[in-house]
Amino acid sequence: MAVLLEARGISKRFGGLTALDNVDFTLDEGRIASIIGPNGAGKTTFFNVFTGIYVPEEGTVTFRGTPVLGKRPDQITALGICRTFQNIRLFSNMTAVENVLVGMHSRIPLGLWDVLGRGPRWAREEGALWARAGELLSLIGLRAKANEIARNLPYGDQRRLEIGRALASRPALLLLDEPTAGMTQGEARGLMDLLRRLVRELSLTVLLIEHNMRVVMEVSDRVTVLDYGQKIAEGQAAEVQRNPRVVEAYLGRKRYAAGSAGG
Amino acid sequence: MKRLLAQPVSAFIISVGLILVTAYAVSHFPRSIVAFMLFQASILVLYFARMPGWVKGALAAATLGVLMPLLGSINGYYLEIAIQVGIFVALALGLNIVVGLAGLLDLGYVAFFAVGAYTWAVFGSPQANLFLPGEHFPLAQGWFFLFLLVGVGMAAGAGILLGLPVLRLHGDYLAIVTLGFGEVIRVLANNLDKPINFTNGPKGITPISRPPIFFDPVLRAIGINPDPNVIYPLYLYFIVLAIVGVTVLVNRRLEDSHIGRAWEAIREDQTAAQAMGVPLVRSKLLAFACGASFAGTVGVLFSAKQVFINPESFTFMESIGVLAMVILGGMGSIPGAVLGATVVTVLNLQVLKGLSLWLNELRNAGTTIFGWSLQNLPTQLEPAKYERMVFGLILVLMMIFRPQGILPARRRHRELTDGAGEPH
């Protein structure tokens, strides 16, 4: 299986705080992978490095062999990496379909003169955009709410709309930052089914940051665990779950009282 | 009323009736401010009437293209007001792109207006002879039309010039820098009379050429002897009307396109917009350039209309005035910007001035109220002098009761069709 994304020796510091400490990470095409870790472990920072929001002090990131670091976020989106945000960041005063249309921006071959002239080329392209937006909205189950203002959508719909907006840029790699946060178990399950479908139908690769362990264990082909900016474990879900360092990171070190056999 | 306007037939009858009745009233009472304002209001009713787009367009064209000039020939002042309204509508629409759509608060917008105005003023008057060899200036009147485009280019260039250093700023910081930019342009105009005299400093530039009456032979052929004093206001009115028409069209096309959507996305959440593939630098510069270009072209027209310009026409208060129009009308809304500009201009030129005149008349007639003579009224108490105060009051009231503006931007509701989606 071809390597899609490769990060080598990534370090990112904020003043005295080391958010990422020499992290290596490889992602194969067509997978669903997860990054887990306690709060403040550096997961979102990792995403921000991939999407050009932060530039790390050290390390390299390549996407399909192309170096990513130093590129602007919009250029990285054009390369084929797109993301959602931990705290939903929709364009809240625009409609659902407009949100999706903005997501297509990097794939629109029209310029200022096309827009002002509104020739046949513009009509054809714009028509195709709207048609595709309709398809995407159907895919995420929001077709009927296309003209609703994003801010007025229920929470779960907003989460899905964010995924739809990211999909609009035709990414090869979709980065989802806690996509099921605040969802009920049922909604989360529905979202996971959607993700599996996307991977199958759109030949997409998905990288998740997730706190919902049930989701992580169920859907991930591979799990990476970060703690204090370091990668402490990596592998299949079940292996990682049993790894003592992971348990320690989440639950804390066992305290042995003198004479006792532990607890 | 609302129900009647929702039916195409009754809406047509009502709006046409209102326009004709008020136009008749204006023609009958040419000095009545109220009649003229009712006439303007009837155009607003036309906007709200639910009719097919082409009917509305035809009615608006007939009203603005035929009725308004006719009324203007009865009372020339109305034409002057209409021209001023047109100039401010174009300015408000330009600023609406920058502030309303892209969310970049620009407090120095009048700078671009000044750039356009000085572009024509310098070359359309003998001024350019002072720093260019030969006696080529003023340019022939026909150049005016080319300069409408040159004004666009110059102002767009100035917009990019302003945009480049402020790309990283937003909110308050951006507002302060743009305010500074506006002042810089004005101070430049004030001081670029030495060592080389480009702008003639505070004395201003005059006489500036007016556009050529190229249809003069036609008028003579049909037996009208063109009197410049009558023809020019009408002529300028039609040029303004054309500029406003183009401005509205360009605005609508930009707004309803991937460019406009990208601007709105930047306004909503800049980081998310960039993460979704919107190039921030290019989009913001485009917004500054597009917004500025409208100001540039009406600037050219303004200097030709005034024949004389000096830096005093381009003060900070003008920028604030245009911003107030956009906010009053509704940020990001094209009808809002048009209405805001109209209301504010009419308020300034008609209502407050009219009140002042009326008060003066009463004073001179020696009217008394409850035994107290109006002649005792201090002369400072003149509504026209309270323009800014009335303005401020209106804005404060608006912020409390209708913060989204008079005609807030409506989200387009669009049915999605399968396969070949047809946007309209």
pLDDT above 80 (res A252): no
Quote the pLDDT of residue A254: 62
Q: Which neighbouring-strand residues pair with A12?
A: A20
Q: A215 to chain B, minimum CA–CA distance in Å?
A: 26
- The answer to whether position A86 is within a domain reads no
Task: Give the pLDDT band (50/70/90) at residue A259.
Answer: very low
Whether A38 and A69 map to the same domain: the answer is: yes
Whether A201 and A146 map to the same domain: the answer is: no
Whether A237 and A111 map to the same domain: the answer is: no
- Of A2-6, B260-264, B419-423, where does mean pLDDT reach its minimum? B419-423
Whether A180 and A138 map to the same domain: the answer is: no
Q: Give me the amino acid identity at B346.
A: V
- Of A216-225, B35-44, B51-60, B387-396, where does mean pLDDT reach its minimum? B387-396
Mean pLDDT, residues B114-141: 89
Residues of B in contact with A176 (CB under 8 A): none
Whether A97 and A120 map to the same domain: the answer is: yes
Whether B107 and B247 map to the same domain: the answer is: yes
Interface mutation target, options B97, B248, B276, B331, chain A, most CBs of A under 10 Å: B276
Give the Cα separation of A157 and A174 in Å (integer): 18
DSSP A137: H
Give the Cα separation of B273 and B275 in Å (integer): 5
Looking at the structure of chain B, the number of domains it has is 2
Whether B38 and B90 map to the same domain: the answer is: no
Cis peptide upstream of residue B195 (ω within 30 degrees of 0) = yes
* A residues 49-68 closer than 8 Å to B (CB): 51, 53
- The answer to whether position B227 is within a domain reads yes
Q: B281 to chain A, minimum CA–CA distance in Å?
A: 10
Torsion angle defined by CA atoms of residues B98, B101, B102 and B106, in that order, rounded to the nearest 10 degrees? 30
Quote the pLDDT of residue B420: 42
Quote the pLDDT of residue B421: 42
Whether B200 and B269 map to the same domain: the answer is: yes
Give the Cα separation of B257 and B270 in Å (integer): 18
- The answer to whether position B343 is within a domain reads no
pLDDT above 80 (res B292): yes
pLDDT above 90 (res B289): yes
Secondary structure, 3-state, chain B: CHHHHHCHHHHHHHHHHHHHHHHHHHHHCCCCHHHHHHHHHHHHHHHHCCCCHHHHHHHHHHHHHHHHHHHHHHCHHHHHHHHHHHHHHHHHHHHHHHHHHCCCCCCCCHHHHHHHHHHHHHHCCHHHHHCCCCCCCCCCCCHHHHHHHHHHHHHHHHHHHHHHHHCCCCCHHHHHHHHHHHHHHHHHHHHCCCCCCCCCHHHCECCCCCCCCCCHHHHHHCCCCCCHHHHHHHHHHHHHHHHHHHHHHHHHHHHCCHHHHHHHHHHHCHHHHHHCCCCHHHHHHHHHHHHHHHHHHHHHHHHHHHCCECHHHHCHHHHHHHHHHHHHHCCCCHHHHHHHHHHHHHHHHHHHHHHHHHHHHHHHCCCEECCEEHHHCCCCCCHHHHHHHHHHHHHHHHHHHCCCCCCCCCCCCCCCCCCCCCCC
Mean pLDDT, residues B260-277: 95
Whether B70 and B98 map to the same domain: the answer is: no
Quote the pLDDT of residue B215: 83
* Residue predicted with more confidence, B350 or A17: A17
Whether B45 and B101 map to the same domain: the answer is: no
A156, A180, A204 - which closes a domain: A156
Query: Do residues B94 and B319 touch, judged by C-beta distance below 8 A?
Result: no
Residue A187 main-chain phi, psi, to 5 deg: -60, -40
B316, B338, B359 - which closes a domain: B316
- The answer to whether position B19 is within a domain reads yes
Task: Give the pLDDT band (50/70/90) at residue A114.
Answer: very high
Whether A112 and A72 map to the same domain: the answer is: no
Answer yes or no: do A105 and B277 touch at CB < 8 A.
Answer: yes
- The answer to whether position B198 is within a domain reads yes
- The answer to whether position B91 is within a domain reads yes
Whether B93 and B10 map to the same domain: the answer is: no
Asked if A89 is an interface residue toward chain B (Cβ–Cβ < 8 A), one would say: yes
Burial B321-352 (b: 16+ CB within 10 A, else e): bbbbbbbbbbbbbbbbbbbbbbbbbbbbbbbb
Q: Please say whether the dihedral angle defined by the alpha carbons of residues A250, A255, A256 and A257, taken in this order, is positive or negative.
A: negative
Whether A242 and A179 map to the same domain: the answer is: yes
Looking at the structure of chain A, the number of domains it has is 2
Whether B46 and B178 map to the same domain: the answer is: no
B260, B292, B316 - which closes a domain: B316
pLDDT above 80 (res B398): yes
Quote the pLDDT of residue B424: 42
Torsion angle defined by CA atoms of residues B121, B126, B127 and B132, in that order, rounded to the nearest 10 degrees? 120
Single out the residue of A184, A182, A212, A180 nearest to residue A195, CA to CA: A180
- The answer to whether position A19 is within a domain reads yes
Give the Cα separation of A89 and A103 in Å (integer): 13
Whether A19 and A62 map to the same domain: the answer is: yes
Give the Cα separation of B387 and B248 in Å (integer): 28
What share of chain A has pLDDT > 90, as a percent? 68
Whether B207 and B262 map to the same domain: the answer is: yes
Half-sphere exposure of B388 (CA within 13 A, CB side): 5
Task: Give the pLDDT band (50/70/90) at residue B72.
Answer: confident
pLDDT above 70 (res A262): no
Task: Give the pLDDT band (50/70/90) at residue B26.
Answer: confident
Whether B166 and B231 map to the same domain: the answer is: yes
Answer yes or no: do A82 and B274 touch at CB < 8 A.
Answer: no
Quote the pLDDT of residue B418: 56
Mean pLDDT, residues B248-254: 94
Whether B222 and B288 map to the same domain: the answer is: yes
Q: Which of A83, A97, A129 sits opposite B275 (nearest CB)?
A: A83
Mean pLDDT, residues B141-166: 93
Single out the residue of A13, A31, A33 nearest to residue A23, CA to CA: A13
What the block records as the tokens of B85 is: 């309204």
What the block records as the tokens of A173 is: 């790699």
Quote the pLDDT of residue A255: 61
Query: Do residues A10 and A66 touch, judged by C-beta distance below 8 A?
Result: no
Whether B38 and B151 map to the same domain: the answer is: no
* Residue predicted with more confidence, B9 or B384: B9
Task: Give the pLDDT band (50/70/90) at residue B244.
Answer: very high
What lies within 8 Å, CB to CB, of B147 at 6+ separation is B119, B120, B123, B124, B300
pLDDT above 80 (res B387): no
Q: Which of B262, B413, B423 sits opposite A102 (nearest CB)?
A: B262
Quote the pLDDT of residue B1: 65
- The answer to whether position B246 is within a domain reads yes
CATH number for A30? 3.40.50.300
pLDDT above 60 (res B423): no
Whether A101 and A142 map to the same domain: the answer is: yes
Whether A73 and A177 map to the same domain: the answer is: yes
Q: Please say whether the dihedral angle defined by the alpha carbons of residues A77, A81, A82 and A85, taken in this order, is positive or negative.
A: negative
Single out the residue of A254, A233, A262 nearest to residue A38, CA to CA: A233
Single out the residue of B419, B260, B272, B255 nearest to residue A133, CA to CA: B419
Q: Give me the amino acid identity at A121.
A: R
User: Quick check: helix, strand or coil at residue A216?
Assistant: helix
Answer yes or no: do A74 and B277 touch at CB < 8 A.
Answer: yes
CA angle B92, B97, B100 (to 5 degrees): 85
Query: Do residues B273 and B267 touch, judged by C-beta distance below 8 A?
Result: no
Domain that holds residue B299: 78-316
Whether B36 and B113 map to the same domain: the answer is: no
**Mean pLDDT of chain B, nearest integer:** 88
Task: Give the pLDDT band (50/70/90) at residue B419.
Answer: very low
Domain that holds residue A217: 3-80+171-251
- The answer to whether position B29 is within a domain reads yes
Task: Give the pLDDT band (50/70/90) at residue A256.
Answer: low
B58, B74, B90 - which closes a domain: B74
Q: What is the complex's ipTM, to 2 decimals? A: 0.91
Mean pLDDT, residues A203-226: 90
What the block records as the tokens of B25 is: 């009233």
- Of A144-148, B208-212, B376-380, B412-416, where does mean pLDDT reach its minimum? B376-380
How many C-beta atoms surround the C-beta of residue B395 within 10 A?
15
Query: Do residues B287 and B263 touch, judged by C-beta distance below 8 A?
Result: yes
Read off the pTM.
0.90
Whether A150 and A221 map to the same domain: the answer is: no
Whether A101 and A69 map to the same domain: the answer is: no
What the block records as the tokens of A19 is: 């958010």
Mean pLDDT, residues A123-137: 94
Residue A149 main-chain phi, psi, to 5 deg: -75, 135
Q: Residues B306-342: pLDDT tens digits?
A: 999 999 999 998 999 999 999 999 999 999 999 999 9
Q: Which of A73, A95, A143 sits opposite B274 (nearest CB)?
A: A73
Q: A261 to chain B, minimum CA–CA distance in Å?
A: 53
Quote the pLDDT of residue A246: 86
- The answer to whether position B98 is within a domain reads yes
Answer yes or no: do A127 and B271 touch at CB < 8 A.
Answer: no
Q: Residue B274's closest chain A neighbor by CA?
A: A74
- The answer to whether position A228 is within a domain reads yes
Quote the pLDDT of residue A260: 44
Half-sphere exposure of B172 (CA within 13 A, CB side): 0
Name the interface residues of B facing A (CB cutoff 8 Å).
250, 253-254, 257-259, 261-262, 264-265, 268-269, 271-280, 286, 411-414, 416-423
